Amino acid sequence: MSRVKRIAKELEECKQDSHSGVSLKLNNETDLTHLTGVFKGPPGTPYEGGNFQVDINVPSEYPFKPPQMKFITKIYHPNISSVTGAICLDILKDAWSPILTLKSSLISLQSLLQSPEPDDPQDAEVAKHYLSDKKGFNDTAAYWTKIYASDVDAGQAELSDSALYGIDNDIVVQFENMGFPRDKTIEVLRRMGIKNLNSVSNKSETENKILEELLKECQ
Protein backbone atom coordinates (compact mmCIF):
# COMPACT_ATOMS: atom_id res chain seq x y z
CA MET A 1 0.00 0.00 0.00
CA SER A 2 2.75 2.41 0.96
CA ARG A 3 4.41 1.69 -2.35
CA VAL A 4 1.40 2.70 -4.46
CA LYS A 5 0.81 5.93 -2.51
CA ARG A 6 4.41 6.98 -2.85
CA ILE A 7 4.61 6.25 -6.57
CA ALA A 8 1.41 8.26 -7.14
CA LYS A 9 2.96 11.21 -5.30
CA GLU A 10 6.20 10.89 -7.24
CA LEU A 11 4.36 10.82 -10.58
CA GLU A 12 2.46 13.96 -9.64
CA GLU A 13 5.65 15.78 -8.60
CA CYS A 14 7.40 14.71 -11.78
CA LYS A 15 4.53 15.99 -13.92
CA GLN A 16 4.73 19.43 -12.33
CA ASP A 17 8.46 19.71 -12.78
CA SER A 18 9.27 20.37 -16.41
CA HIS A 19 12.83 21.67 -16.25
CA SER A 20 14.64 18.57 -14.97
CA GLY A 21 14.38 16.96 -18.43
CA VAL A 22 13.25 13.67 -16.89
CA SER A 23 9.82 12.21 -17.45
CA LEU A 24 7.93 9.22 -16.09
CA LYS A 25 4.94 7.48 -17.54
CA LEU A 26 2.89 4.43 -16.64
CA ASN A 27 3.03 1.47 -18.98
CA ASN A 28 -0.55 0.69 -18.07
CA GLU A 29 -2.98 3.15 -16.45
CA THR A 30 -4.12 0.61 -13.87
CA ASP A 31 -0.71 -0.55 -12.73
CA LEU A 32 1.51 1.83 -10.77
CA THR A 33 4.43 -0.57 -10.47
CA HIS A 34 5.58 -0.72 -14.10
CA LEU A 35 6.80 2.53 -15.57
CA THR A 36 8.96 3.90 -18.34
CA GLY A 37 11.35 6.75 -17.65
CA VAL A 38 12.76 8.97 -20.38
CA PHE A 39 15.66 11.42 -20.21
CA LYS A 40 17.93 13.27 -22.63
CA GLY A 41 21.57 12.38 -23.18
CA PRO A 42 23.77 14.93 -21.38
CA PRO A 43 25.27 17.66 -23.62
CA GLY A 44 28.97 17.42 -24.37
CA THR A 45 28.89 13.61 -24.36
CA PRO A 46 28.49 11.10 -27.20
CA TYR A 47 24.93 10.62 -25.90
CA GLU A 48 23.92 14.20 -26.70
CA GLY A 49 20.80 14.45 -28.83
CA GLY A 50 19.50 11.06 -27.74
CA ASN A 51 16.36 10.23 -25.81
CA PHE A 52 16.94 7.26 -23.54
CA GLN A 53 14.12 5.05 -22.32
CA VAL A 54 14.45 3.09 -19.10
CA ASP A 55 12.22 0.23 -18.00
CA ILE A 56 11.24 0.60 -14.33
CA ASN A 57 9.87 -2.15 -12.13
CA VAL A 58 8.96 -1.16 -8.59
CA PRO A 59 9.32 -4.02 -6.06
CA SER A 60 6.71 -4.44 -3.31
CA GLU A 61 9.26 -3.43 -0.66
CA TYR A 62 9.77 -0.01 -2.33
CA PRO A 63 10.98 2.48 -1.06
CA PHE A 64 12.99 0.21 1.24
CA LYS A 65 14.36 -1.72 -1.75
CA PRO A 66 15.58 0.01 -4.93
CA PRO A 67 13.49 0.07 -8.13
CA GLN A 68 14.72 -2.31 -10.82
CA MET A 69 15.85 -0.36 -13.84
CA LYS A 70 17.25 -1.30 -17.21
CA PHE A 71 17.72 0.53 -20.49
CA ILE A 72 15.16 -0.16 -23.21
CA THR A 73 17.09 2.03 -25.64
CA LYS A 74 20.29 0.33 -26.78
CA ILE A 75 23.31 2.24 -25.52
CA TYR A 76 27.09 1.91 -25.77
CA HIS A 77 28.44 2.59 -22.27
CA PRO A 78 30.94 0.73 -19.99
CA ASN A 79 28.45 0.40 -17.10
CA ILE A 80 25.46 -0.68 -19.20
CA SER A 81 25.16 -4.00 -20.99
CA SER A 82 25.10 -3.39 -24.74
CA VAL A 83 22.99 -6.56 -25.09
CA THR A 84 20.46 -6.53 -22.23
CA GLY A 85 20.51 -2.91 -21.03
CA ALA A 86 21.35 -4.03 -17.46
CA ILE A 87 22.81 -1.21 -15.38
CA CYS A 88 25.71 -1.26 -12.93
CA LEU A 89 25.12 1.64 -10.53
CA ASP A 90 25.64 1.47 -6.77
CA ILE A 91 22.50 3.38 -5.77
CA LEU A 92 20.36 0.85 -7.65
CA LYS A 93 21.98 -1.87 -5.56
CA ASP A 94 23.48 -1.72 -2.08
CA ALA A 95 23.84 2.07 -1.83
CA TRP A 96 20.09 2.61 -2.21
CA SER A 97 18.40 4.90 0.31
CA PRO A 98 14.62 5.36 0.75
CA ILE A 99 14.91 9.12 0.34
CA LEU A 100 15.87 8.56 -3.30
CA THR A 101 13.04 8.64 -5.81
CA LEU A 102 12.37 7.34 -9.31
CA LYS A 103 13.17 10.82 -10.63
CA SER A 104 16.42 11.16 -8.69
CA SER A 105 17.43 7.66 -9.85
CA LEU A 106 16.88 8.68 -13.48
CA ILE A 107 18.96 11.82 -12.89
CA SER A 108 21.70 9.59 -11.47
CA LEU A 109 21.56 7.52 -14.66
CA GLN A 110 21.90 10.71 -16.67
CA SER A 111 25.03 11.61 -14.73
CA LEU A 112 26.34 8.06 -15.16
CA LEU A 113 26.28 8.75 -18.92
CA GLN A 114 28.34 11.86 -18.22
CA SER A 115 30.95 10.08 -16.10
CA PRO A 116 31.40 6.37 -16.89
CA GLU A 117 33.21 4.11 -14.40
CA PRO A 118 35.19 1.76 -16.68
CA ASP A 119 36.95 0.17 -13.69
CA ASP A 120 33.67 -1.31 -12.49
CA PRO A 121 32.18 -2.39 -15.81
CA GLN A 122 28.90 -4.06 -16.67
CA ASP A 123 29.98 -4.60 -20.27
CA ALA A 124 33.64 -5.66 -20.29
CA GLU A 125 34.04 -5.36 -24.04
CA VAL A 126 32.78 -1.78 -24.08
CA ALA A 127 34.90 -0.89 -21.04
CA LYS A 128 38.00 -2.26 -22.77
CA HIS A 129 37.21 -0.13 -25.80
CA TYR A 130 36.75 2.94 -23.54
CA LEU A 131 40.08 2.42 -21.78
CA SER A 132 42.16 1.54 -24.85
CA ASP A 133 40.77 3.92 -27.47
CA LYS A 134 38.74 6.83 -26.09
CA LYS A 135 38.15 8.42 -29.49
CA GLY A 136 37.00 5.18 -31.10
CA PHE A 137 34.72 4.61 -28.11
CA ASN A 138 33.20 8.09 -28.43
CA ASP A 139 32.57 7.58 -32.14
CA THR A 140 30.83 4.27 -31.55
CA ALA A 141 28.76 5.61 -28.63
CA ALA A 142 27.69 8.61 -30.73
CA TYR A 143 26.84 6.26 -33.60
CA TRP A 144 24.65 4.12 -31.31
CA THR A 145 22.95 7.30 -30.04
CA LYS A 146 22.19 8.32 -33.61
CA ILE A 147 20.90 4.91 -34.65
CA TYR A 148 18.97 3.86 -31.52
CA ALA A 149 18.22 6.96 -29.42
CA SER A 150 17.39 9.69 -31.93
CA ASP A 151 13.94 10.81 -32.92
CA VAL A 152 15.04 10.57 -36.52
CA ASP A 153 13.68 7.47 -38.18
CA ALA A 154 16.39 4.84 -37.88
CA GLY A 155 15.78 3.83 -41.51
CA GLN A 156 16.99 7.25 -42.65
CA ALA A 157 20.31 7.01 -40.91
CA GLU A 158 22.61 4.76 -42.82
CA LEU A 159 23.14 1.60 -40.81
CA SER A 160 26.75 0.48 -40.81
CA ASP A 161 27.48 -2.91 -39.30
CA SER A 162 31.17 -2.15 -38.69
CA ALA A 163 30.56 1.19 -36.96
CA LEU A 164 28.07 -0.54 -34.67
CA TYR A 165 30.89 -2.52 -33.12
CA GLY A 166 33.42 0.30 -33.33
CA ILE A 167 35.39 -1.55 -36.00
CA ASP A 168 37.31 0.50 -38.54
CA ASN A 169 35.62 0.01 -41.93
CA ASP A 170 38.98 -0.07 -43.81
CA ILE A 171 40.05 -3.27 -42.15
CA VAL A 172 36.72 -4.94 -42.96
CA VAL A 173 37.05 -3.83 -46.60
CA GLN A 174 40.62 -5.13 -46.68
CA PHE A 175 39.42 -8.67 -45.90
CA GLU A 176 36.29 -8.33 -48.01
CA ASN A 177 38.57 -7.63 -50.97
CA MET A 178 40.31 -10.94 -50.31
CA GLY A 179 36.92 -12.60 -50.84
CA PHE A 180 35.74 -13.13 -47.26
CA PRO A 181 32.07 -12.36 -46.55
CA ARG A 182 31.52 -9.08 -44.68
CA ASP A 183 29.47 -10.53 -41.81
CA LYS A 184 32.03 -13.28 -41.14
CA THR A 185 34.87 -10.74 -41.12
CA ILE A 186 33.07 -8.58 -38.56
CA GLU A 187 32.21 -11.63 -36.47
CA VAL A 188 35.86 -12.73 -36.34
CA LEU A 189 37.16 -9.22 -35.60
CA ARG A 190 34.62 -8.85 -32.76
CA ARG A 191 35.62 -12.19 -31.30
CA MET A 192 39.29 -11.23 -31.44
CA GLY A 193 38.58 -7.81 -29.95
CA ILE A 194 40.28 -5.99 -32.85
CA LYS A 195 38.85 -2.62 -33.80
CA ASN A 196 41.57 -1.20 -36.03
CA LEU A 197 45.13 -1.89 -37.12
CA ASN A 198 46.56 1.61 -36.64
CA SER A 199 47.51 1.15 -33.02
CA VAL A 200 48.85 -2.38 -33.49
CA SER A 201 52.67 -2.64 -33.44
CA ASN A 202 53.05 -5.94 -35.29
CA LYS A 203 50.55 -5.28 -38.05
CA SER A 204 51.40 -8.13 -40.42
CA GLU A 205 51.40 -10.69 -37.61
CA THR A 206 47.94 -9.57 -36.51
CA GLU A 207 46.73 -9.67 -40.11
CA ASN A 208 47.95 -13.25 -40.39
CA LYS A 209 46.11 -14.18 -37.20
CA ILE A 210 42.88 -12.68 -38.54
CA LEU A 211 43.41 -14.53 -41.81
CA GLU A 212 43.90 -17.80 -39.96
CA GLU A 213 40.69 -17.31 -37.97
CA LEU A 214 38.76 -16.32 -41.09
CA LEU A 215 39.94 -19.42 -42.96
CA LYS A 216 38.81 -21.58 -40.04
CA GLU A 217 35.49 -19.75 -39.93
CA CYS A 218 34.82 -20.09 -43.66
CA GLN A 219 35.77 -23.74 -44.08
Q: Which residues bind another protein (CB under 8 A)?
A: 1-2, 5-6, 9-10, 61, 63-65, 94, 96-99
Q: How far is the CB of 62 from another protein (least distance, A)?
A: 11
Handedness of CA 105, 109, 112, 117 (dihedral sign): positive
Q: Rounded distance, CA 14 to CA 16, Å? A: 5
Of 71 and 96, nearer to another protein (C-beta) is 96
Find the Cα–Cα–Cα–Cα dihedral 121, 123, 124, 126, rounded to 10°: -110
Of 98 and 181, nearer to another protein (C-beta) is 98
Q: Rounded distance, CA 181 to CA 161, Å? A: 13
Closest by CA to 128, choosing from 116, 112, 142, 113, is 116
Q: How far is the CB of 13 from another protein (least distance, A)?
A: 9
Determine contact, residues 26/35, Cβ cutoff 8 Å: yes
Q: How far is the CB of 64 from another protein (least distance, A)?
A: 5
Q: Could you give the maximum distance between any two Cα atoms of the chain, in Å? A: 66
Of 3 and 209, nearer to another protein (C-beta) is 3
Task: Based on the residue annotation, tell me whether 218 is a catalytic residue of this protein.
Answer: no
Q: How far is the CB of 92 from another protein (least distance, A)?
A: 12
Q: Rounded distance, CA 201 to CA 16, Å? A: 57
Closest by CA to 146, choosing from 136, 133, 135, 159, is 159
Of 63 and 116, nearer to another protein (C-beta) is 63
Catalytic pick among 22, 80, 88, 189:
88
Catalytically active residues, by annotation: 88
